[in-house]
């Protein structure tokens, strides 16, 4: 689950990580009042679940409350990478003497959390990782032992030379690690972690992603979910027991199992196509899941063809076929559908589809190439 910056900062604060004062607003008038209460320059920051807000004009410096009002009016309603800005954070502006990057993710290969710091703070860390990976310093942490003080200090000294600054940063690294573990995060990131001219180290920005599978341990986090229109599909899929990730192509993909999903994505790309999504109906063959999957995919206007790639083990191909036929009758899709069903009750599934003029393809390669061909002419 992604949460907004203002929510992440509230969580940071509970772990003792220093953050600037800030409040969320949904109107320009609220932004003006918040800025007036602070009585000093503020930043108005768009709250959307994408990066690149500053480059898109979604972050503005404001000298006073009137400027906060004017900039809030400009930012609210903006479209940033397909997401409409409905909330803004009004936060005290900070003078910056130095900035670094600090973040924690799970290193799946090492099966441990990895803490990363870089002196290249304030810019896209992905670009740093791609072009100058040597500028990112990493520390893998044994989750049983946790991060030790000397480890945090060693890491801090990779990006700071001043002992006072490094010691402050080391404490923040330890607090961030505790936040990451106790909040069941998949990502906890500060970019930038700034040093002010007076020598204080504070988290100027905050980003937290929480593991959906651990939300049952954090009932208080459910209220943090912001169901933006562009994320409705993801939420509907989760409630239906489906895994859905929207992408930017034109071929809607329905599969069963994450491995088959990845293989299907790879094959679509291999043959020159672009997946519009990753939609996994899982091991169950409940026809209603297929209907929900079709409804979610058809909501995307970029989808020009729908590809079913099902390997029937526990999943029964005939149940999936019944779901496809039911969905077609209900939604009457205007885009072509291609289907590959193989495995349990495959023959029955082929009969069901043939009776509805939806013949199944024989091979995975064949069905992928057919989907790409149909998407191009749609």
Q: Give me the residues paired with residue 266 across strands.
A: none
**Buried-exposed string 18-51: b where 16+ CB fall within 10 A, e elsewhere:** ebbebbbbeebebbbbbbeebeebbbbbbbbbee
| 38 noted as active-site residue | no
Provide the total of helices (H) and of strands (E) in the chain, helices listed first. Answer: 12, 17
For residue 246, give both structure tokens.
């929207």
- Report which DSSP code applies to 75: H
Cβ atoms 53, 46 nearer than 8 A: yes
Catalytic member of 67, 120, 189, 234: 189
Q: How many CB atoms within 10 Å of residue 63?
A: 12
Q: Is 56 buried (19+), middle (13-18) or exposed (0-12) by CB count in 10 A?
A: middle
CA-CA distance, 174 to 158, in Å (whole number)? 15
CA-CA distance, 105 to 140, in Å (whole number)? 10
**Residue corresponding to tokens 């972690």:** 193
CA-CA distance, 207 to 124, in Å (whole number)? 13
CA-CA distance, 320 to 312, in Å (whole number)? 9
Region of residue 131 (phi > 0: left; psi between -120 and 50: alpha; otherwise: beta): alpha
Catalytic member of 38, 101, 160, 177: 101
| 101 noted as active-site residue | yes
Q: 214 vs 113, 115, 164, 211, CA distance in Å? A: 16, 21, 37, 5
CA-CA distance, 111 to 280, in Å (whole number)? 24
For residue 175, give both structure tokens.
């607090």
**Residue corresponding to tokens 């293989």:** 263
Catalytic positions, written as ranges: 101, 189
């Amino acid at each position: 689950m992604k949460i907004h910056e203002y929510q992440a900062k509230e969580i940071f604060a509970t772990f003792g990580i220093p953050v600037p004062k800030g409040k969320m607003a949904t109107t320009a008038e609220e932004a003006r009042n918040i800025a007036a209460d602070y009585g000093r320059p503020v930043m108005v920051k768009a709250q959307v679940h994408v990066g690149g807000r500053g480059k898109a004009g979604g972050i503005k410096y404001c000298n006073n409350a009137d400027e906060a009002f004017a900039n809030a009016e400009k930012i609210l309603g903006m479209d940033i990478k397909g997401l409409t800005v409905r909330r803004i954070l009004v936060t005290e502006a900070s003078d910056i003497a130095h900035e670094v990057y600090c973040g924690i993710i799970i290193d799946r290969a090492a099966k441990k959390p990895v803490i990363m710091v870089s002196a290249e703070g304030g810019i896209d860390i992905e670009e740093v990782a791609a072009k100058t990976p040597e500028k990112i310093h990493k520390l893998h942490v044994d989750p049983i032992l946790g991060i030790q003080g000397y480890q945090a200090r060693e890491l801090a000294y990779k990006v700071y030379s001043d002992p006072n600054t490094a010691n402050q940063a080391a404490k923040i690294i330890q607090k961030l690690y505790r936040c990451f573990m106790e909040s069941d995060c998949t990502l906890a990131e500060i970019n930038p972690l700034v040093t002010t001219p007076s020598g204080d180290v504070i988290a100027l920005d905050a980003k937290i992603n929480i593991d959906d599978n651990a939300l049952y341990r954090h009932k208080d986090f459910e209220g943090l979910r912001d169901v933006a229109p562009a994320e409705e599909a993801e939420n509907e899929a989760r409630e239906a027991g489906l895994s859905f990730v929207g992408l930017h192509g034109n071929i809607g993909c329905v599969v069963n199992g994450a491995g088959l999903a990845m293989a299907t994505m790879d094959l679509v790309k291999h043959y020159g196509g672009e997946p519009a999504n990753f939609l996994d109906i899982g091991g169950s063959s409940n026809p209603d899941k297929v209907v929900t999957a079709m409804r979610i995919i058809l909501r995307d206007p970029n989808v020009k063809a729908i590809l079913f790639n099902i390997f029937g083990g526990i999943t029964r191909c005939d149940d999936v076929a019944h779901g496809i036929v039911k969905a077609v009758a209900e939604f009457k899709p205007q885009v072509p559908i291609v289907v590959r069903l193989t495995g349990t009750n495959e023959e029955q599934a082929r009969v069901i589809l043939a009776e509805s003029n939806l013949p199944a393809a024989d091979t995975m390669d064949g069905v992928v190439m057919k989907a790409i061909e149909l998407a191009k002419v749609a």
